[in-house]
Structure 1
Amino acid sequence: MSGADAAGFDDAFRATLAQLFVLRRDVRRFRPDPLPAGTLERLLALASLAPSVGLSEPWRFVIVTDPARRAAVRANFEACNQAALGGYGGERAALYARLKLAGIDVAPVQFAAFSDRATEQGAGLGRQTMPEMADYSVVAAIHTLWLAARAEGIGLGWVSILDPAAVAASLDVPAAWRLVGYFCLGWPESEGTVPELQRLGWASRAPASQHTLKR
Structure 2
Amino acid sequence: MPSFSPAFVDELDRLFLWRRDVRHFEARPLPEGVLDLLLRQACQAPSVGLSQPWRFVRVASPGRRADIRAIFTGCNAAALAAQPEARAGLYARLKLAGLDDAPEQVAVFVDTQTQTGHGLGRATMPETLGYSAVLAVHTLWLAAAARGLGLGWVSILDAPAVAAALDVPQHWRLTAYLCIGYPRAPSDIPELERAGWEHRLPPGDVLLER
Q: Please state how far the C-alpha of 1:30 moved relative to its aligned partner.
A: 0.3
String of CA shifts for 1:53-95, please: whole Å, max 9, x gaps.
0000000000001111100100000000000111112230110
Q: Report the counterpart of residue 94 of structure 1 in structure 2.
A: 89
Q: After the TM superposition, which residues 111-130 of structure 1 pair with which residues of structure 2 at under 5 Å, given as runs?
A: 111-130=106-125
Q: Please state how far the C-alpha of 1:209 moved relative to its aligned partner.
A: 1.2
SS of 2:95's equivalent in the other structure is: coil
Q: Please state how far the C-alpha of 1:132 moved relative to its aligned partner.
A: 1.2
SS of 2:134's equivalent in the other structure is: helix
Q: Verify the 8 A CA contact 1:117 1:131 in the aligned structure 2.
A: no
TM-score scaled by length of structure 2: 0.98
Q: Please state how far the C-alpha of 1:196 moved relative to its aligned partner.
A: 0.3
Correspondent of 2:150 among 150, 155, 159: 155
Amino acid at match of 2:182: W
Tell me how far apart the structure 2 counterparts of residues 138 and 210 of structure 1 sit (CA, whole Å): 27
Q: Report the counterpart of residue 29 of structure 1 in structure 2.
A: 24
TM-score scaled by length of structure 1: 0.96
Q: Report the counterpart of residue 36 of structure 2 in structure 1.
A: 41
Q: Percent identical across equivalent pairs?
A: 57
Amino acid at match of 1:37: E
Q: Report the counterpart of residue 194 of structure 1 in structure 2.
A: 189
Q: Report the counterpart of residue 130 of structure 2 in structure 1.
A: 135
Q: Please state how far the C-alpha of 1:47 moved relative to its aligned partner.
A: 0.5
Mark the runs of 5 or more structure 1 residues left unpaired by the alignment: none
Q: Please state how far the C-alpha of 1:182 moved relative to its aligned partner.
A: 0.3
Mark the runs of 5 or more structure 2 residues left unpaired by the alignment: none
Amino acid at match of 1:12: A
Aligned length: 210
Q: Report the counterpart of residue 104 of structure 1 in structure 2.
A: 99
SS of 2:82's equivalent in the other structure is: coil
String of CA shifts for 1:173-207, please: whole Å, max 9, x gaps.
00001100100000110211110000000000000
RMSD, aligned α-carbons: 0.8
Q: Please state how far the C-alpha of 1:8 moved relative to its aligned partner.
A: 3.3
SS of 1:86's equivalent in the other structure is: helix
Q: Report the counterpart of residue 57 of structure 2 in structure 1.
A: 62
Tell me how far apart the structure 2 counterparts of residues 168 and 212 of structure 1 sit (CA, whole Å): 37
Q: Report the counterpart of residue 71 of structure 1 in structure 2.
A: 66
SS of 2:173's equivalent in the other structure is: strand
Q: Please state how far the C-alpha of 1:128 moved relative to its aligned partner.
A: 1.2
String of CA shifts for 1:80-115, please: whole Å, max 9, x gaps.
000011111223011000000000000000010000
Q: Report the counterpart of residue 177 of structure 1 in structure 2.
A: 172
String of CA shifts for 1:7-64, please: whole Å, max 9, x gaps.
2312111111011000000001000000011111110000000000000000000000
Q: Report the counterpart of residue 83 of structure 1 in structure 2.
A: 78
Tell me how far apart the structure 1 counterparts of residues 84 and 199 of structure 2 sit (CA, whole Å): 20
